[in-house]
Amino acid sequence: MAYSDEELLRLADDINKAKPVALSIVDTFGAMFFDDLERIVSILDRHLDKDIRLGFHSHNNRQLSFALTIRFCEMMADRERNIIVDSSLCGMGRGAGNATTELVASYLDRRCHGDYDMDAIYDAIDMYMEPFKAKYKWGYSTEYAIAGFYECHVNNITYLEKNHHATARDIRNVIASLSTEERRHYDYDLLESKYIENQDRIVDDEKALTSLDNALKNHKILLVAPGKSVIDKKANIEKFISENSPVVIGRQNGSGHGIVLEFAYFFSLYFPVLSDR
């Protein structure tokens, strides 16, 4: 997508001089739509030597990896050129993953006179992929879709998720604040400054802090963290509450212990749950 028509023509000329076995089109950021693929394929197929194979490698940020692979095969079905399509078992791949081998193979069998051993593919999934799926995470997510929308390097998304547990909205705002060129690379210092700038801009918590200060002033505070010990020591905790009347604060996903909370915290946000003080 980043290549203009003129750049693709120069690329085809250089490739013809080098005479490789194949040239592969790579949707690096998982950002392609059909018209993007069609433009690139049409130019390269017209200008590459016919003995050079044309390949396609997709990423599934927009949930289009399989569909784009099908479109590539359809476009090349009647052309005088051999083609290559990349895929992986269960779509395994960094971030949003890739086209799924079991889907691609079944499509090629049904529509393109393929002759793939689907039993062997499923055996490989059962034998090798289930342990990987238990250990690693990949596949479509809203966050990786944002990377596709903005043609953004996946490391930027990973950094914001890992270091700030950033929401999808925050991730979108931070990525949108980067230039087109900045999005295609990753500069963690730049990302950090943009994240802080975004938080300063959208978070005006002065009133919230004043309200919280008034609610907690002159009260003992009991912070109930999530964990098994809360359930094991529930009787002791309830006795402390009965004797000291503290303001009880707990995490939003720490439910299950049955202790009544007056405030629940959600990362950097707080919401009153119950208060008669």
Q: Is residue 268 part of a domain?
A: yes
- Residue 197 CA to residue 177 CA, distance in Å, equals 10
**One domain, residues 194 and 216:** no
Indicate the number of domains in the chain: 3
User: Do 256 and 188 share a structural domain?
Assistant: no
CA distance 72 to 76: 6
H-only helix segments in 77-141: 101-111, 118-124, 130-135
Question: Same domain for 12 and 45?
Answer: yes
For 110, the 3-state DSSP assignment is helix
45 and 127 together in one domain: yes
- Distance between CA atoms of 206 and 106, rounded to whole angstroms? 58
pTM of the predicted structure, to 2 decimals: 0.72
Q: Would residue 198 count as lying in a domain? A: yes
pLDDT at 256: 56
In this structure, the answer to whether residues 21 and 74 fall within a common structural domain is yes
Task: Supply the pLDDT for residue 271.
Answer: 45
Query: Residue 99: which of 133, 139, 58, 147 has the closest Cα?
Result: 58
Tell whether 226 is covered by a domain. Answer: yes
Domain that holds residue 146: 142-202
Residue 275 has pLDDT above 80, yes or no: no
Same domain, 112 and 65: yes
Picking from 19-28, 131-140, 248-257, which range would have the lowest pLDDT averaged per residue? 248-257
Q: What's the alpha-carbon Rg for the chain, to the nearest Å?
A: 27
Final residue of a structural domain among 172, 202, 232:
202
- Residue 277 belongs to some domain of the structure: no
Which of 116-120, 123-127, 144-148, 272-276 shows the lowest mean pLDDT across its residues? Answer: 272-276
Q: Is the pLDDT of residue 86 over 80?
A: yes
What does the pLDDT read at residue 270?
A: 41
196 and 106 belong to one structural domain: no
Residues with Cβ within 8 Å of 135's Cβ and at least 6 positions away in sequence, in order, are none
Specify whether 87 is located in the same domain as 101.
yes
Boundary of a domain, candidates 186, 202, 218:
202
Residue 264 domain-assigned (yes or no)? yes
Helix-helix angle 168-176:142-149, to 10 degrees: 20
- Domain limit, last residue, from 187, 202, 217: 202
* 237 and 258 part of one domain: yes
175 and 155 within one domain: yes
Together in a domain, 170 and 197: yes
For residue 101, is it within any domain? yes
Task: Give the CA angle between residues 167, 145, 137 to the nearest 5°.
Answer: 80
> Is 164 part of a structural domain of the chain?
yes
pLDDT of 78 above 60? yes
Clarify whether residues 102 and 160 are in a common domain.
Answer: no
The answer to the question of residue 48 being in a domain is yes
Give the CATH number for residue 89: 3.20.20.70
Q: How far apart are CA 162 and CA 141, in angstroms?
A: 15
CA–CA gap between residue 23 and residue 26 (Å, rounded)? 10
